[in-house]
Chain A
Amino acid sequence: MSTFNDQAGLKELAATAARIRGAMESVIEGKPEVVRLALTVLLAEGHLLVEDVPGVGKTMLAKSLARSVDCSVRRVQFTPDLLPSDVTGVSVYDQQRREFEFKPGAIFANIVIGDEINRASPKTQSALLECMAERQVTVDGTTYELQAPFMVIATQNPVEMEGTYPLPEAQRDRFMARVSMGYPSLDAELEMLGVHGAGSPLDSLDPAADARDIVKLIEAVREVHVSPGVARYAVELVSATRNSPELRLGASPRATLHLVRAAKAAAALDNRGYVLPDDLQALAVPVLAHRLLPTAEAQMSRRSVEQVVQDIVRTVPVPGAPGTPPGAQGYPAPQPAQVRHAQPAPQSGPGYGRPAGYPAAQQPQPYPGQGQAGPYGAAPGGQFHGNGHNPAR
């Protein structure tokens, strides 16, 4: 099933995304911002780290996202005795054919749910490094491409909990964003009692899009415009973490990439063809905070990394210059960086780049940035196509 025609526009993207969100929110109640962030990471080709205490719905979030999209989903329960080959796959000798045959591991899926990732040994965690960053697996000298879309949703308990191994910095850096579920509100928890009492809400969850839809969405997201000013703003935000006296370790250039990509996805989710500094500001904490290490002084003065990042957001001046030469018609030529894209950008439709929300007649609500959660909530569910369809098999 395809919800898009080939001339997909942001409007349709937003509609599809709204459907997915609606589906997820029927399971994860009272956490629209977490749902939105998960979707943002999916569309930005990133990986999501869900960190919180047990029992607040981390796995439920991951599963609801996986269920909402009709694609292959694998779940890996990370245990202390899990081996790297369990994740990546193993070559087995086929006696009949007299050759080695590759048995793909759990990683070969569109969405991989890594549950309790910090309970596995660092050795096993490291097996994820190549897949997450390069979307490929190398076993016995053979490199296998992972299919698109590919997303790892890992959950973990805070490292203070018993029996956990902290994720190495390299691994944390490969997650685009870290999200904390937080406890639900009283009302949401009450309602949850009612719904979950009747049975798992996941069972009644219908997928709202399929893998091809997601790929198209991702491509559309790539086309979201980032003005030079906003790009520089992103760089300044990230480099501010490197210069901050309260941080021992700043964010990497990969963090800058992740931040901008996530911002593009967020802009697209808002039905907007260009990134605003607001997007970067809103994503700075989830995208940057888990990569940073505070100094001992900051820890002593009980400054959390999140607070430091928020302070940086408050300090760095917002760009105020028009990025493109005025009068440029339609969508601008691809930026130099986009040449590197594996897939060339599809031809944009004539209306693709039209700025959203202006003039005001386009929207009853004059300000699109506010109160947008409403329309997302009422997305109709798509047709259920079953779960676990895996083309690689």
Chain B
Amino acid sequence: MTGRLRMAVAAAVATTLTASSLLPLVRSGAWIWQALGAVLLVAAVGEAVRRMSVPRPLIGVVQLVVLIPYLMLVLVPEVSGPIPTPDAVRAYGDLMSAGGTDIKNYSPPVPAADGIGAILVTVVAVVAVMVDTIAVTYGQAAPAGLPLLALYSVPAALAESGLGWGVFLLSGLAYVVLLLAEGRERLLRWGRPLVPPGARSSGTSARPWARGGGRIGLATLAVAVAVPAVIPMTANRLADRSGTGSDQITTINPVVDLKDELNRPENTDLLTYTTTADPRSMYLRIAALDLFDGNSWQPSEQGLVDPPKVMPPPQGLDPSVKATKVTTEIKVVKGYKQGSVPMPYPASEVKVKGDWRYENEGRLLLGDKGQTISNQRYTVVSLDVRPTADQLRAAGAVPSSMSRYRPVPLNLVRSLTDVTNRVAGSGSSFDKALRLEKWFAESGDFKYDTKVPNKGNGKNAIDNFMEQKIGYCEQFASTMAVMARILGIPSRVAVGFVPGSPTGDGTYKIGSHDAHAWPELYFANVGWVRFEPTPSRGTAPQFDDNRPLPEPSSSLTATPTETNPTPLPEQSRQCRMDDCPEDTPTAAAVAAGGGGDGGNLRNLLIGVGAAVLVVLLLALPMLLRRRVRRRRLTALSRDPVVDAGRADPGEAVLGAWQEVLDTARDLGIRTGNSETPRQLTVRLLAELPEDAEAAREALPRIALAAEQVMYAPEAPQRTIGLAEDVRAVRGALLAAATRGTRLRAEFLPASAFRRPQGGPLERLRSGREPEPEPGSA
């Protein structure tokens, strides 16, 4: 096999291995055989053409030309003969465009439609031509990695959670194969390697370069696979922290991001809590959406800071407003991977483990790079703000800083102004807001139903909602927030949970069906105030009001101190199973962190196991080396007289010498094959410090003993003292080395990587019979 042919084979193998990374994208892999055929064809044609001494630029062209009928025959066999007809080309084009459409329509893994298969085969064939041209025709294996990388990056970009390590390994291996083939070829171009006559017969050491390169490549691949398995990808996070600690990050939008979340057929328990506050006001927030562009509510970009011990006072809250500190202990079930800490508003202190960042505008704690609250137990100290209706009515002009909470798209302003003004009537902003709330929640005009034709919270949803007066919390909250903005009241939509249902032992339980959205309106000197426009969901906030209110069903008469959890279960259960699943915010909130599939413990175990594995792998050379050393020293300490016939004292002595050799190698002292024990001893003595008397005396003893075993007719019988000698020499050599060298000798001992049978000792034993002694004639 010539070097060039070997390169051609390597190129074909590399392309095939890399193309196999496309397999996870397609459900059925029938196309891979066609692609394989194309790769083989390219390699064969390339080799044939190269043998005919065609100019190099033409070789790739010929390969492409031969590919065309192949692709036609394979992909559109019904209209194509051996020579491509215009019909066949047209059919091929149709197939490609059909494939393009399919790709747009499906998400991976896509069904193996003909069109997609055609595209894949074509791409692989073209890549094969490129790789073959670069690596074989032009003899440059390294740049041939570029088309391979391009091929690999397609599935890498498309696969949602990245490609598996197996696929990466295959593709990496492909490139290593290519490089190895080229490295060997390049070395051989310099001529036959000069081998000492003794080694010529064995033939194994003829390719040390290729072998070394292969080992490096394989080790690199192994590290590349193993390291990310244990080290979480924290690079971005580190970058975040390294700055001022405050940078713009768009918080997650649970409403919009997770619209496609599937219905949950049953109410999954998410968290339980105990609280010192009025359970009915315990709305846990996980998001605050303040931007409304007519299509949807979005969280704006806000600065994130490290969570302060005590959060700043809530926006706009005047000290005169009654606010009591309440403490809530929350326990989240395992698997609820929410990236935002559900907290009552406004929280002032949070004790939660993990990497969290604080967003002051929405008063949220957001998980940093995948941090979730799954399986966490945390404590929140928050304020139970109880403004009186008078205080709210007396709220003055909204500060200009809040103007960003007021924009409403013009077309919505037009369509909603009339009805808003009619419902809100006149009076203070608070009165208007209260009337809006009651209109939605208590007038009976609106019906709560999750099966609305237009989901979402944009203009279309609001228009439909106002027209049909059917919707669920998302539309109620969105519409009321928009109307409040029309009235000049700053508003935003909060996403979270309605108060949970009591379990009986003082704790409350929140399930996935308790997810909710509600508007928050801003009043000067009071701050953000929650409203509850959604009928039959949650509880409307209560405001101490000396004016009697006409609404009989309202719970406004309840005093702030009243803690009566009994209505809660009823209210919660009003969300029945069959109408809750489509409650988008519910599903959204549930899976905001990315779906709760795996157990934390299992991941932890896998992580720990992988870490242990990596540590073991890293420590393997050291362990092997220690084991070898211990075995050698034990063999030396054995008394040959006691267990005669069992142990070979000569072997033990050789082991002692080998141990000295290995120690020297570990410390980076080169030991030559053609160096006798004496020569090496002289060199090692130069390395030893002058004051290491014991070692300086011990080293020649070891060398002499080894020499006798190897060359003398009679092996020395005394081995026990040698163990101490070996220790002394080893200690002195280590002491003479620098710290870095010592560490390397310990953890990455060079001798652990040497194959023991490579030495002359084994070759002599396994080789021919010893020649008769050339005695004197």
Contacts and interface: CB of A to CB of B under 8 A. Distances in A.
A69 interface: no
Interface in A48-80: none
A277 B682 contact: no
A232 B197 contact: no
A359 B772 CA distance: 30
Contact of B678 (A235, A264, A276, A319): A276
Interface size class, chain B? 35 or more
A229 B711 contact: yes
A337 B701 CA distance: 32
Give the secondary structure class of A's interface: loop
Given A232-B764, A274-B713, A358-B708, A243 B776 contact: no
A336 interface: yes
Contacts of A327: 648, 715
Contacts of A324: 713-715
Contacts of A314: 672, 674
A244 B474 CA distance: 90
A21 to B, nearest CB: 21
Contacts of A274: 708, 711-713
Contact of A276 (B654, B707, B764): B707
B697 interface: yes
B713 A328 contact: yes
A320 B774 contact: no
Contacts of B764: 228-229, 232, 319-321
A335 interface: yes
Contacts of A225: 711-713
A329 B711 contact: no
Contacts of A226: 773-775
Given A329-B714, A360-B701, A321 B676 contact: no
Interface string B742-777: 000000000000000001111011000011111111
A221 to B, nearest CB: 8
A230 to B, nearest CB: 6
A276 B775 contact: no
Contacts of A97: none
B712 A227 contact: yes
Interface in A340-383: 340-341, 353-355, 357-360, 366-370
A324 B713 CA distance: 6
B649 interface: yes
A261 to B, nearest CB: 5
B660 to A, nearest CB: 13
Nearest to A369: B678
A366 B774 CA distance: 31
Contacts of B713: 225, 227, 273-274, 323-324, 328, 330-332, 353
A340 B239 CA distance: 84
A326 B649 contact: yes
Contacts of B712: 225, 227, 273-274, 355
Contacts of A36: none
A326 B705 CA distance: 13
A343 B349 CA distance: 106
A363 B776 CA distance: 31
A322 B711 CA distance: 6
B776 A257 contact: yes
A335 B769 CA distance: 14
Contacts of B777: 257, 340
A366 B762 CA distance: 29
A45 interface: yes
Interface string A236-270: 10011001000000000000110011001000000
Give the secondary structure class of B's interface: helix
Given A229-B764, A340-B777, A322 B700 contact: no
A217 interface: no
Interface in B664-702: 672-676, 678-679, 681-682, 697, 700-701
Nearest to B764: A321
Contact of B772 (A222, A240, A336, A355): A336
Given A240-B197, A319-B760, A232 B771 contact: yes
A376 B61 CA distance: 82
Interface string B569-613: 000000000000000000000000000000000000000000000
B709 A234 contact: no
Most buried by B among A276, A278, A367: A367
A329 B649 CA distance: 13
B714 A337 contact: no
Contact of A260 (B649, B718, B762, B774): B774
B674 A316 contact: yes
Interface residues of A, number: 66
A93 B255 CA distance: 135
B413 interface: no
Given A273-B712, A323-B770, A354-B714, A313 B674 contact: yes
Contacts of A318: 673-676, 760
B651 interface: yes
Contacts of A313: 674
A360 B673 contact: no
Given A45-B776, A337-B775, A355 B700 contact: no
Contact of B197 (A230, A236, A341): A236
Nearest to B725: A360
Contacts of A366: 697, 700-701
A323 B713 CA distance: 7
Contacts of A204: none
A322 B771 CA distance: 14
Nearest to B770: A228
A275 interface: yes
Nearest to B710: A322
B198 A316 contact: yes
Given A316-B196, A359-B701, A337 B710 contact: no
Contacts of B765: 321
B705 A322 contact: no
A322 B716 contact: no
A315 interface: yes
A315 B196 contact: yes
Contact of B704 (A240, A321, A338, A358): A358
A340 B765 CA distance: 27
A125 interface: no
Contact of B710 (A256, A321, A328, A340): A321
Contact of B773 (A231, A354, A369): A231
B496 interface: no
B650 interface: yes
Interface string A155-180: 00000000000000000000000000
Most buried by B among A235, A239, A243, A369: A369
A338 B697 CA distance: 38
A317 interface: yes
Contacts of B674: 313-318
Contacts of B718: 359
B714 A257 contact: no
A221 B650 CA distance: 25
B773 A320 contact: no
B199 interface: yes
Contacts of A341: 775-776
Given A227-B710, A341-B775, A326 B701 contact: no
CB-based closest 6 A-B pairs: A228-B770, A321-B764, A317-B673, A335-B773, A337-B775, A326-B650
8 contacts: A227-B713, A316-B196, A319-B710, A320-B710, A328-B714, A328-B715, A329-B714, A367-B678
Interface of B: 196-199, 648-651, 654, 672-676, 678-679, 681-682, 697, 700-701, 703-705, 707-716, 718, 721, 759-762, 764-765, 770-777
Given A320-B759, A320-B764, 14 more contacts: A232-B764, A274-B708, A316-B196, A319-B710, A320-B654, A320-B710, A323-B713, A324-B714, A327-B715, A338-B773, A341-B775, A354-B714, A355-B716, A359-B718
Interface of A: 44-45, 222, 225-232, 234-236, 239-240, 243, 256-257, 260-261, 264, 273-278, 281, 313-324, 326-332, 335-338, 340-341, 353-355, 357-360, 366-370
